[in-house]
């Protein structure tokens, strides 16, 4: 695969939208920063004479989520947006259930971007702190990125430091990058610095299977985009900055426009997406970074350490586990299963499924089942037995909170699964003892 690139905004905004507050950086400062950053050299095989297709989309690799009232749009744009899309591209993942369980953690990114000296933000819950995206790129380069459904549980109020990062290297290190380079040029004029945004380059990068994350100016009207109003132009009202993930373009729509994945859920905009014209994007975008990685094999390869495993189950060629293991090589803790026909998130205890599991049948198939199932010592607990008490099993409400169902953009069955809801194949697959190959 050609080197994959990601454009990433380096700063976001204060806005009345979703009560956000993120660090502003003026263009002169960004221009100065760019002098010390690696310069991007395109390697997508395009020349100035190359005719690109008039439309392109990466939507088959996307997952729509909702950042809620927090100022974590940086984390959603980088992790849930770009990193999830890249993982799916690299691993050939297009089924919705597999995209969903393997998405990356926006709160991991956000919790590392907080300034510990911003005592006002930290003292008030830590969900509206300032952030700088190039610092997030440094973190991903040096430590990698965490998937959302792997421990530890993080929220917008969480704060991580370098000691925490070092302890997570088995979980995050697989998903590191080689570096990043600045893409937007800064020209100094008599009236100050101005940006130069190359629309054709962005289209080339998208065609090279690269999500593009950028920063645009937004106002109060941005919050009102809907299925009947899903194009955005010049901001009205209070102006701030917002991180978005560009996933496609169409030269024939709105005079030429980018298709954008946002982080306000599917009830906003056009099922969570919107369009912005090339002209408006050039007027509003200030900063963009490209992530560099020469070889993506480590994003595909098995991982095995004394505490963590990513690879096939013993005695299986199709079923994989990504999560913790104990000293005996048995799965022990919360992780992710992918198998033919389903994906799941749940806990093992010494190799046996134990506790509440979130299970997704292949959601591309009509009438697929998605919801909760309770296992104890490897056995599915039937509906009539849900009142049992076990000191080793969290309540369903606690599990829902730890799995961030509030940002999920999917309908789950309201009643837990019985043997009539799940196939024998799925029940047997989860019930079989989990151990590494």
pLDDT digits 0-9 by tens, 215-228: 888 888 999 999 99
Q: Cα-atom radius of gyration of the chain, to the nearest Å?
A: 22
- Does 210 share its domain with 345? no
Query: Does 133 reside within a domain?
Result: yes
Please state, in angstroms and as integers, the Cα–Cα distance from residue 411 to each residue in 368, 372, 406, 407, following that order: 11, 12, 11, 12
Query: Does 23 reside within a domain?
Result: yes
- Does 276 share its domain with 324? no
pLDDT attached to residue 390: 63
- Does 264 share its domain with 377? no
Query: Does 2 reside within a domain?
Result: no
Beta bridge partners of 187: 194
Give percent of the chain with pLDDT exceeding 70.
90
Given a cut of 90, whether residue 285 has pLDDT beyond it is no
Computed from CA positions of residues 12, 160, 148, 183, in that sequence, does the dihedral angle turn out positive or negative? positive
Please provide the average confidence, as pLDDT, over all residues in the chain.
87
Query: Does 93 reside within a domain?
Result: yes
- Does 348 share its domain with 286? no
- Does 293 share its domain with 330? no
Residue 337 to residue 102: CA distance in whole angstroms: 9
pLDDT attached to residue 109: 94
Q: Which of 297, 323, 348 is the last residue of a domain?
A: 297
Q: State pTM to two decimals.
A: 0.91
- Does 282 share its domain with 319? no
What is the three-class DSSP state of 256?
Answer: coil
Query: Does 367 reside within a domain?
Result: yes
- Does 285 share its domain with 341? no
- Does 288 share its domain with 242? yes
- Does 124 share its domain with 177? yes
- Does 306 share its domain with 367? yes
**Are β-strands 289-292 and 257-261 bridged in parallel, bridged antiparallel, or unpaired?**
unpaired
Number of domains in the chain: 2
More confident residue, 212 or 46: 212
Given a cut of 60, whether residue 167 has pLDDT beyond it is yes
Query: Does 3 reside within a domain?
Result: no
Taking residues 317-345, report their average pLDDT.
96
- Does 278 share its domain with 311? no
Query: Does 138 reside within a domain?
Result: yes
Taking residues 142-167, report their average pLDDT.
92
Q: Domain residues for 137?
A: 14-297
pLDDT attached to residue 88: 97
- Does 284 share its domain with 320? no
């Amino acid at each position: 695969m050609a080197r994959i690139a990601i454009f990433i905004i380096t700063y976001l905004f204060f806005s009345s939208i979703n009560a956000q507050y993120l660090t502003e950086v003026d263009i002169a400062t960004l221009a100065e920063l760019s002098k010390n950053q690696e310069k991007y050299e395109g390697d997508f095989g395009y020349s100035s004479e190359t005719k690109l297709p008039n439309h392109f989309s990466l939507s088959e690799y996307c997952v729509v989520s909702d950042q809620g009232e927090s100022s974590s749009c940086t984390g959603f744009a980088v992790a849930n947006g770009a990193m999830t899309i890249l993982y799916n591209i690299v691993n050939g993942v297009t089924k919705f259930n597999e995209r969903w369980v393997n998405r990356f953690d926006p709160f991991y990114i956000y919790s590392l971007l907080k300034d510990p000296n911003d005592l006002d933000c930290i003292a008030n819950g830590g969900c509206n702190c300032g952030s700088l995206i190039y610092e997030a790129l440094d973190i991903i380069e040096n430590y990698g990125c965490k998937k959302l459904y792997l421990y530890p549980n993080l929220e917008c109020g969480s704060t991580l430091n370098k000691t925490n990062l070092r302890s997570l290297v088995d979980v995050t290190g697989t998903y590191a990058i080689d570096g990043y380079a600045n893409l937007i040029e800064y020209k100094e004029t008599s009236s100050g610095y101005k940006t130069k945004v190359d629309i054709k380059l962005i289209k080339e990068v998208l065609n090279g299977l690269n999500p593009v994350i950028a920063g645009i100016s937004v106002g109060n009207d941005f919050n009102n985009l809907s299925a009947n109003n899903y194009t955005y132009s010049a901001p009205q009202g209070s102006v701030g900055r917002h991180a978005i993930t560009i996933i496609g373009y169409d030269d024939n729509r709105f005079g030429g426009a980018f298709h954008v994945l946002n982080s306000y859920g599917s009830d906003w905009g056009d099922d969570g997406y919107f369009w912005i014209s090339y002209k408006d994007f050039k007027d509003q975008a200030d900063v963009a970074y490209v992530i560099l990685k020469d070889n993506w094999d480590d994003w595909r390869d098995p991982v095995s350490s004394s505490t963590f495993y990513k690879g096939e189950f013993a005695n299986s060629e199709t079923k994989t586990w990504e999560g913790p293991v104990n000293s005996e090589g048995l799965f022990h803790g919360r992780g992710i299963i992918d198998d033919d026909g389903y994906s799941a998130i749940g806990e093992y205890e010494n190799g046996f499924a134990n506790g509440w599991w979130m299970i997704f049948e292949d959601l591309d198939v009509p009438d697929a089942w998605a919801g909760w199932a309770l296992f104890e010592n490897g056995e599915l607990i039937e509906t009539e037995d849900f009142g049992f008490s076990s000191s080793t099993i969290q309540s369903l409400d606690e599990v829902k909170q730890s799995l961030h169902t509030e940002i999920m953009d999917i309908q789950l069955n309201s009643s837990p699964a019985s043997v009539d809801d799940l196939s024998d194949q799925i029940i047997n697959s989860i019930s079989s003892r989990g151990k590494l190959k």
